[in-house]
Amino acid sequence: MLIKNPKRWDLPERMATPEDVFLNRRALIKTAGLIAAGTALAGLSACDDGQSMEEATPTVPDVDPSASLYPVPRNESYKLDQPITPEEFNLTYNNFYEFGSHKTIAENAQNLRIRPWTVTIDGMVEAEMQIGIDDLLAKIPLEERLYRHRCVEAWSMTVPWSGFPLSQLVELAKPLSSAKYVVMETFNDSSMASGQKQTWWPWPYTEGVTMEEAMNDLAFLVTGAYGKPVAKQMGAPLRLALPWKYGFKSIKSIVKFHFTDKRPTTFWMQSGPREYGFWANVNPDVPHPRWSQASERVLGTNERVPTLLYNGYAEEVAGLYKGLEGERLYM
């Protein structure tokens, strides 16, 4: 018999986005003939920051071929103790340096071409492979999870991500027992991503986790959000969500998974070695060299709330770091 202990982030049902809102959104999308319809969906939820939705929501012109896969069933083990951030905030307040080093990159990110999209799996694996995103989506069942997201810049949001556990990609890859890290890489193409013309950044964006972290239940590969394919500005067609780490670890628009026994020097470790490290676990007691991490601004509200150790996921992940106390675990 399966005995399920309630998680601390279990969301009282009254706080969750009701199913009918999702279903109505879907019906509306279908009726309107708009699949990634930032503009159509904007009218469904109030934006409380005084911006008009016409200004705030970018147009998303092309249709994602995976749209019919969504919405996907919610995995009830991954819920929240706070409301979901309204979609328009996630669509319009982004970090995606490939499209500019500011928050309003949404329009520019529409230049991202997401088909064809080939994912390479290489390095210390039984057999290197390349797989198209739609073939990958056909292999692995998708589920929805409600996760927190805490940016190192001290703002936070909550997101209904769709996707599958990173551990399933690892199983598909069949790494050798000598592999200790998975290094992920974003596309590198300045013809569609104007930020990549800024040659002082160490493109392509890379991130990495240990094999133990990759196999942790919480490590999630995102293909959708808010009941449809993930928007380009949020990292289409494949991004990572590591909710216990600062947001920069959640790499967007992944084209490569490389298995290795060498700890990688990632994009932010190269860009700011005194400020960013490999582990980057959320900890309110360890300030960033330039600001406090004790609290966070909750996007879509006027609230500032205390930050939690491991962003509230200590029970699930603290064990990963036993014996590593000498490391800079929190940067």
For the chain, the 3-state helix, strand and coil shares in percent, each to the nearest 5, are 25, 20, 50
Distances (CA, A) of 292 to 104, 254, 284: 24, 30, 8
Report the relative pairing of strands 118-123 and 254-260 from DSSP bridges.
parallel
Is 94 a binding residue for ligand MTE by CB under 6 A? The answer is yes
- Report the residue from 250, 266, 281, 307 that binds ligand MTE according to the rule CB under 6 A: 250
Euclidean distance between CA atoms 301 and 313, whole angstroms = 22
Which residues, including other chains, have CB under 8 Å from residue 289's CB and lie 6 or more apart?
Answer: 274, 275
Which stretch in 28-36, 51-59, 215-223, 246-254 sits in contact with ligand MTE by CB under 6 A? 246-254
When asked if residue 251 is in the footprint of ligand MTE (CB under 6 A), the reply is yes
Number of Cβ within 10 Å of residue 239's Cβ equals 23
Interacting span for ligand MTE (CB under 6 A) from 60-68, 93-101, 111-119, 301-309: 93-101
Q: What's the full length of the chain, in residues?
A: 331
- Compose the 169-188 pattern: x for residues touching ligand MTE by CB under 6 A, - for all others: -----------------x--
**Is 248 a binder of ligand MTE (CB under 6 A)?**
yes
Contacting range for ligand MTE; rule: CB under 6 A; set: 20-28, 95-103, 124-132, 303-311? 95-103
β-bridge pairing 304-306 and 155-165:
unpaired
252 binds ligand MTE (CB under 6 A): yes
Our CB check for ligand MTE shows the closer of 124 and 252 to be 252
- Asked if the peptide bond before residue 204 counts as cis, ω within 30 degrees of 0, the response is yes
82 or 94, CB closer to ligand MTE? 94
Q: Residues binding ligand MTE: what is the number (CB under 6 A)?
A: 15
**Cα–Cα distance, 284 to 311 (Å, whole number):** 9
Q: How is 189-202 classified by DSSP, letter by letter?
A: -TTT-GGGG-TTS-
Q: Which residue is nearest to ligand MTE (CB)?
A: 247
Binding of ligand MTE at residue 151 (CB under 6 A)? yes
Q: With binding defined as CB under 6 A, does residue 205 bind ligand MTE?
A: yes
Selected from 36, 234, 280, 282, the binder of ligand MTE by CB under 6 A is 234
- Contact set with ligand MTE (CB under 6 A): 94-98, 151, 186, 205, 234, 247-248, 250-253
